[in-house]
């Protein structure tokens, strides 16, 4: 199984500041079709997860451009600039290149 190592576990940030979350996979996430199926989700308190970024760097519908994704192969990053109160919650990466699908263990973004 592909192990997704997500860091940090907790990320205190100041409102208006920047946050960066890392996700590393135990093997390449490049699919045989050439796509890389690495996605980022935010789960706000008491809510279902919502898709932020799909296939490494594509913002999902309605996601503000403060959110950006980058990376390749086995090393991926989610950056949040100008953090706002509604950005707080748990962030997860997901790889869906290989079965079984596997998630990172999560990063809690909280106010410093």
Partner 1 sequence: EVQLVESGGGLVQPGRSLKLSCVASGFTFNNYWMTWIRQAPGKGLEWVASITNTGGSTYYPDSVKGRFTISRDNAKSTLYLQMNSLRSEDTATYYCTRGAHPAYWGQGTLVTVSS
Of the two residues 83 and 94, which places its CB atom closer to partner 1 in the complex? 94
Of the two residues 11 and 101, which places its CB atom closer to partner 1 in the complex? 101
| 76 contributes a contact to partner 1 by CB under 8 A | no
Stretch that binds partner 1, among 18-26, 71-79, 81-89, 97-105 (CB under 8 A): 97-105
Question: SS3 for 86?
Answer: helix
Say which residues have a Cβ less than 8 Å from residue 112's Cβ, sequence separation at least 6. 12, 13, 14, 17
First to last CA, the chain: 35
Among 20, 49, 57, 79, binds partner 1 (CB under 8 A): 49
| 67 contributes a contact to partner 1 by CB under 8 A | no
């Amino acid at each position: 199984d592909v192990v997704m190592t997500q860091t940090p576990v907790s990320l205190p940030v100041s409102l208006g500041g920047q946050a960066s979350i890392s996700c590393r996979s135990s093997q390449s996430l490049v699919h045989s079709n050439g796509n890389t199926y690495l996605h980022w989700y935010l789960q706000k308190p008491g809510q279902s997860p919502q898709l932020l970024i799909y296939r490494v760097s594509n913002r999902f519908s309605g996601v503000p451009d403060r959110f950006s994704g980058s990376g390749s192969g086995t090393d991926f990053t989610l950056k949040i600039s100008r953090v706002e109160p509604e950005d707080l919650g748990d962030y997860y990466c997901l790889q869906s290149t290989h079965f079984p699908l596997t998630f990172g263990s999560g990063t809690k973004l909280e106010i410093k």
